[in-house]
Structures are given as C-alpha cells and as structure tokens.
Structure 1
Amino acid sequence: MSSLSRELVFLILQFLDEEKFKEMVHKLEQESGFYFNMKHFEDLVQGGEWDEVERYLSGFTKLEDNRYSMKIFFDIRKQKYLEALDRL
C-alpha cells in the first residue's frame, strides 16, 4: 500500500471514529491490514469473543505466517477450548 493510500485510510479511520462508526472502523482496520487496534483486540479478548478475536487477528496475520502467529492462534484456540470445557 502506498504512503498516500495509508494516509487516506488513516484519515478515513479518524473520521469514522469521530462519527461513532466503531464497527466500520474495526472492519477497515482489519481489511486494510495496516492499523492494528490493540484496545479493540483487548476488549474482544476480555469479553471472551474468541471467534471475533481470530477473525480480527486474521486480517493482520495468518496461522502459517510465522511461529509467533502460530503461537497466538494456538493460545486463542486453547482458551476457547478451556472455556468450552468449563461450561460442561
């Protein structure tokens, strides 16, 4: 993505955030793959929204990209599994 494209995406993100279009903001962050919103990611994790955590993260990295990606996806799926066991 060119520098101009990145700046344009960033401006759009700022505008959408100010206008309270949070869902659109997070989707654009994910789709552009250029701005990872750690606060949003933390909120998803703390809320136990594991499918959404994986979906958001997959906009930035894939399981097979490197060992760090593999580790975080493994940890997410492990937590999802452990929580499912707790519900039984």
Structure 2
Amino acid sequence: MATILSLDKLLALLSESAGEDESIDYTGDILDMEFEALGYDSLAMFNTVNRVERDYGISVGDDIVANAKTPRLLLAEINERLRAVG
C-alpha cells in the first residue's frame, strides 16, 4: 500500500518549516483555503516541499509548489507522486 500524506501531517510539516514552536489548531474546512491566508509564505512552502521530497523520496517541481495554492491542491500533487513510487 502506498504512503499517503495526510492533511494533519502536511500542516505539521508546514508549522515546522515556518519555525513555529507548536502546530496551529485549525478549525473548519481549510483544504481550500490559500496557504497565504493560513499564514504560510512561499519560503515555508518551499521548505515544506523540500522536507517532503527528502523524507519520502519523491520529486515535486517548483512550478507545482508555486501553483498549488491550497492544501487540497498540494496534497493531490504530493500524493499522486507517492502513489507512483508506491
């Protein structure tokens, strides 16, 4: 069975990459909220994706990071790659 990155794991990685001491407790449906609205800038996004690439052995292009503006879009791209290496 292929590894799948969950929303909770993605948010934890984002928090770590942004240098936050604790994970933020999000309420409501944040899958379609833009990362900027969640408080994450492009540096946090690139750091997070670099960590995912290193930890999971996949490659996610910079263009995908730049275009995946929401957790739903980024998770879809990451999980597609994870399933491919399954």
TM-score higher than 0.5 here?
A: no
More helix by proportion, 1 or 2? 1
TM-score, normalising length: structure 2: 0.31
Higher relative contact order, structure no. (Cα contacts within 8 Å, ≥ 6 residues apart): 2
Structure with higher Rg: it is 1
Q: What TM-score, normalized to structure 1?
A: 0.31
